[in-house]
Amino acid sequence: MSQKKKKQTSPPSEIQTQGRFTRNLPWIITGVMALWLLSKAFTVPKKAFQGMDMHGFGRLPVVESGRVKPYDSLARNYLILMSERQTVIEMVEDHRGREKEVKRPAIKWLLDTLSGSPAAAKYRIFRIESLHVLQTLGLTPRHGFRYTLEEIVPRLPELIGEAIKARQKKEADKTLSPDEEQFHELGMHLQRYISLTAFIVPHIIPPVDDHDWQSLGGMLANNRDKRRVEGIMQERVMMVLREGDINKLTQTQADMLSGLRDSGMEPVNHWGSMLLAWQKNDAQGFNTSIGKYREWLRKNNVRLEEGNTQWRADKERIDQAIAKLKADGGESKNREAIKDFESERKPKPAPVVGDTGFEVSYNHIEPFATSAAMYLIGFLLICASWLFGAPVDEERIKSTGRLIFGIVCFALLLSFVGTVLGGLWADDSWGRFWGWDPKENGALMIVLWNAIILHARLGGMIQARGLALLSLGGNMITAWSWFGVNQLGKGLHSYGFTSGITFWLLVFVTSQIAFILIGSMPRKYWFTASDSSKPSTAALSMVLNRAAFNLIAFTFVVHTFGLVARIWISGYPPVTTLYSSAIFIGWGAVILGLVLERLQRSQPGIGNAIAAVGGFSTLLVAHFLAIGDGDTFTMMQAVLDTRFWLATHVTTVTLGYMATFVAGGLGMYLLFRSNRWCVGGLGVFCLLWALGGLVVRSKWGIEYPSIAVGDNLLVNPLYIFLWVGLILTAAGWYRLSQVKN
């Protein structure tokens, strides 16, 4: 038989039997995602609004939360804190005289608020979910649960009274009810709004003379009683709001801005003229004032970088160290040590700051939100590939068990070393190595749990399935240590309560319990060696898995760009806050997942799933942390004081957390691929959460915390649970129908 004839008669591979479109599907999906990202990168807004250079204003420098940033970042941070989104809805009249919703950028909202424009009171920025709070303010529930200042002002006395009660109760260290928590948050958001309107914040005048960065109100005080002057400005705004006539606020702001314009201080004059021109829609005056202010910045050698902020942090650290030496043993006894600290002092630098345009572009691209969306798409591709692929056999189950064991060893080492380094950091920061703080207890629990897993396996008490089930317990303990203890609001490691995380922590923990219950079913309910998929669907499974790998690898590049950009903007490594640590853990999980996917060729999709779930889940957690913290670039004081020990501790311990989560992810993978009832069981789990949401909504009027998709779309998790539950239940039924009896 000739070679040509052999080629004709030899059976083609399964991949070759697919059409050209199917074979190229991995590259098509990645190309579409790349085009989407490029469209964001090349569409950074620069177009003038009604002839006014609004986005040029967004690039001006301002100090807030201890760092220099562009006004664009300030506007986004304030909106995130108040409404959990980075754009805002303005109610405007159409040609028929009816109100309609119009999406506006954060920088326009900030300009309208600072200038007292009539549009400022018509933005839906105050998020109110509590039905009791809505009834107190005379409001009705609406989609999105966001309300305007115009709607809140008529019942302002009631709001202020309830907010004061909640604040006093919180200061007395008493637990607040959900309604009281809502009043307290709403009161703080209203205070932020009033502080902006009264020019108490932000600090916008650079330190060209002897003063530090100043607010407009602080400059008007001119070294007099600053608090008294700012109080007067704030009271002027409050008087208008108490009267309930929101239209008077525009005239009040115009009077204040006229005073700023005629103050006799050049930078204050420019700001008064700028904001007054915006209020009156004077495009020429607004653009001219921006140009004059930029010229003043150049004339005074104020380039747009964080110079004095770091100098002040170093100065404060040195002053504290010297004061401690003087208090401990006196100046004469510690003279040499004091001289050493004095030698570290650096001369005050010029007020220089670099180009804020890069941060504006970074804000617009939103690399982490974009990465989270693409990781989720990649995970859906993997799930589809598993649905069409063959279940794992006994040998693959054992192989996965060995992999879990190795990763738990890695997690134990890093968790233990990271915990010890944390003790060194605590000793350097707080003067004690260990204090049984909730966060410290959580770290110890992780170490002990990983040790229990290894002892149980080495003692022959468990095999592959037991490793998988115990690794799910490690997921719960790690989630509690990393996020749960913050919800307690206790201890030196408490970084703030975030209500959305509490709900999703509960969902995550109950999902792990569901996995453990399903994994504990007798072996007869698992797949056997006789169960397999059809050849055509097996080929489709390979194509989908390859598409997932390409997409996740591309998303990893975007994720890395976001990390590098944060380092460039902040000047610190990505482990100095809880937010940045979450992003770093996800980044490490993606690396490990992609490496595993290349090494574990016998089990396609296992590494992809770890990478996609690790990247998406940690970026989602980071999103909730941003809602609670606002400016995610702000450094914790302990970071500024003890950078070396904190950097080594956080880097090591977060890698240990990441490895523990990866081991738990492998445990979920093993159950997902080898247990007949796992997919359908998760479907029932989601349906139960949907049913629970319907019950609590109808009986108590409580809604699950919404998820923001983009800037203006809010999704109720109840519907997510419903649709995911239906899809997984149907997929589980399909899997069971393929089982050979």
In tens, the pLDDT along 1-21 reads 444 444 444 344 444 555 677
The pLDDT assigned to 380 comes to: 84
290 with 388, same domain: the answer is no
596 with 550, same domain: the answer is yes
316 with 384, same domain: the answer is no
The pLDDT assigned to 350 comes to: 41
> What is the CB-side half-sphere exposure of residue 524 using CA atoms within 13 A?
1
278 with 179, same domain: the answer is yes
The identity of residue 45, as a single letter, is P
Q: Which residues contact 32 (CB under 8 A, 6 or more apart)?
A: none
- Domain carrying residue 628: 366-518+528-675
> Taking the alpha carbons of 438, 443, 444, 449 in that order, is the dihedral positive or negative?
positive
Backbone angle region of 223, left / alpha / beta, with phi > 0 → left and psi within -120 to 50 → alpha? left
Residue 732 lies in a domain: no
The pLDDT assigned to 90 comes to: 80
206 with 332, same domain: the answer is no
Residue 724 lies in a domain: no
> In DSSP terms, which residues pair with 214 in a beta bridge?
205
- What is the widest separation between alpha-carbon atoms in the chain? 103
Residue 29 lies in a domain: no
Residue 39 lies in a domain: no
pLDDT tens for each residue of 490-505: 555 555 445 556 778 8
Decide: 73 and 363 in contact? Cβ < 8 Å.
yes
Residue 183 lies in a domain: yes
262 with 374, same domain: the answer is no
d(C-alpha 380, C-alpha 383), whole Å: 5
The pLDDT assigned to 4 comes to: 45
Q: Please choose, from the candidates 79, 14, 13, the residue with its C-alpha nearest in 3D space to the C-alpha of residue 534.
A: 14
Q: Which residues contact 421 (CB under 8 A, 6 or more apart)?
A: 645, 648, 649, 652, 653
Residue 685 lies in a domain: no
491 with 608, same domain: the answer is yes
Calculate ∠ Cα 104-105-108, nearest 5°. 85
d(C-alpha 571, C-alpha 299), whole Å: 26
260 with 186, same domain: the answer is yes
Residue 696 lies in a domain: no
* Residue stretches of the chain with pLDDT short of 50: 1-15, 304-309, 347-354, 496-497, 637-642, 711-712
441 with 375, same domain: the answer is yes
Neighbours of 94 (CB within 10 A): 9
291 with 160, same domain: the answer is yes
229 with 131, same domain: the answer is yes
Residue 730 lies in a domain: no
Task: Give Cα separations from 519 to 406, 469, 523, 669, 692 (angstroms).
Answer: 21, 7, 9, 11, 24
191 with 84, same domain: the answer is yes
Share of the chain above pLDDT 70, in %: 78
Look up tokens 């309910």; give the residue: 525
Please report, in angstroms and rounded to a whole number, the separation of the first and last CA atoms in the chain: 43
d(C-alpha 694, C-alpha 721), whole Å: 11
Number of domain units in the chain:
3
DSSP string, 342-403: HHT--PPPP-----THHHHHHHHH-HHHHHHHHHHHHHHHHHHHHHHSPPP-HHHHHHHHHH
